[in-house]
Amino acid sequence: MISCTEFIMAYSELFAFIDERYGREELVRFWEELADEFLFNLRDLVAEKGLAGMSEYWSHTLSEEGADCRMTLTDDEFSIEMNHCPSTAILRRNKHLTPFPDYCEHCKVLYRRVIEPYGFRCEVTVSDPVMGRCVVRVTKG
Amino acid sequence: MPNVHKDFHGCFNFGLKFLLDNYGEAEMEEYLRRVARNAYAPLIESLRMRGLPALQDHWQHIMLLEEADFDLRFTNDDTLVLQVKQCPAIAHMRARGYKVCSRFCEATRIVNDEICRQAGYQSEVEYDRENARCTQRFRKEAAR
């Protein structure tokens, strides 16, 4: 068993494997299928509770992952200001591994695909992919 | 203390299913062997240097983190045996309603095999996916 604490390395390797052997279009297709078929817990919360559902989802997952971030929820907007992404921290810490260079791209594909069909606009702005700094901003469309 | 986000098991399971459905079993295996060589390079090195106690420490650490029901011991013939009485990954995925990939347990066999081969050891896994149990054995590769 690959432990869930070791998963991020396997995830990065999976992106690299698909990208190298099958190309970027296939990797994006993988991310889209992951969004469509696996992220139903986020989708259900967005469908039921909108912005508050996003806050509920990420409060739980980012807490378990030990993220250093600030979440803000208003009537019109939900945002995450990520100071240190826990996933990129794992990739940085494990210096023996060459991380997939576009690792952060998957967040843009996954979350936009889940959230935007419900009438929201989702922007993911990565300011420092190595240190894991980004902003996820969701606004009412 | 690493953070434990068990839903990553579901995501890993989805990745295996994607590889299997789209590119076939050989490609899934190729990916897993790559993970073993790259992600577990420090464990391979430690196994070369320290022998089976390195694997014993690894599994003890992982199984405790995952709060697994397990038994880990050496037998009289210098075989390290890990008995997983309830796989925490399968238990989590079932609790969340995820469909467990038909080859999920093969990932354990393949990753173990590659780690051990790289370090001059051998491994075998008997698994019972339905009941979320397995027994893994590790020993020094016989001299040729």
- ipTM summary value: 0.94
CB A102 within 8 A of CB A121: no
Q: What is the mean pLDDT of residues B33-37?
A: 98
Sequence-ordered strand ranges (E) for B14-114: 69-74, 80-86
Contact residues on chain B for A38, CB-CB shorter than 8 A? 10-11, 14, 98
- B12–A2: do the CB atoms touch at under 8 Å? yes
Q: How far is A51 from chain B (nearest CA, A)?
A: 22
Inform me whether the pLDDT recorded for B1 exceeds 60: no
Inform me whether the pLDDT recorded for A17 exceeds 60: yes
pLDDT band at B77 (very low <50, low <70, confident <90, very high): confident
pLDDT of the residue at B141:
86
pLDDT band at B67 (very low <50, low <70, confident <90, very high): very high
pLDDT of the residue at A108:
96
Q: Which of A6-10, A47-51, A61-65, B119-123 is the least confident region? A: A61-65
A102 touches chain B (CB under 8 A): no
Inform me whether the pLDDT recorded for B101 exceeds 80: yes
Which contacts (CB < 8 Å, 24+ apart) does range B100-106 have?
A: B100/B13, B100/B129, B101/B13, B101/B14, B101/B16, B101/B17, B101/B20, B102/B20, B103/B16, B103/B20, B103/B25, B103/B28, B104/B13, B104/B16, B104/B129, B105/B129, B105/B134, B106/B28, B106/B29, B106/B32
DSSP letter (8 states) at residue A134: E
Q: At which residue do the structure tokens 């990916």 appear?
A: B31
pLDDT band at A46 (very low <50, low <70, confident <90, very high): very high
Residue of B nearest to A34 (CA): B14
Residue of B nearest to A26 (CA): B22
Q: What is the mean pLDDT of residues A90-117?
A: 96
Sequence-ordered strand ranges (E) for B8-113: 69-74, 80-86
pLDDT band at B2 (very low <50, low <70, confident <90, very high): low
- B7–A2: do the CB atoms touch at under 8 Å? no
User: pLDDT averaged over chain B?
Assistant: 95
Q: How far is B7 from chain A (nearest CA, A)?
A: 8
Torsions phi, psi for A70 (to 5 deg): -125, 125
pLDDT of the residue at B3:
77
- A1–B89: do the CB atoms touch at under 8 Å? yes
pTM: 0.95
Residue of A nearest to B58 (CA): A3
Helix (H, G, I), strand (E, B) or coil at B122: strand
